[in-house]
Amino acid sequence: MRKKTISSFVLGLAFMAPLALRADDDDHRHERDRQRTEQRYYDENARDYHVWNNREDQAYRNYLKERNREYREFSHANKREQQDYWRWRHSHQDRDDDRR
Please name every residue paired with 43 in a beta bridge, in sequence order, or none if there are none: 48
Q: Report the range of poorest mean pLDDT among 1-10, 66-75, 83-92.
A: 1-10
At residue 17's C-alpha, the angle toward residues 15 and 22, to 5°, is: 115
Note the Cα 41 to chain centre separation in Å. 12
pLDDT tens per residue, range 33-43: 655 667 999 99
pLDDT tens per residue, range 25-83: 666 666 666 556 679 999 999 999 999 999 999 999 999 999 999 999 999 999 999 99
| 98 pLDDT tier (thresholds 50, 70, 90) | very low
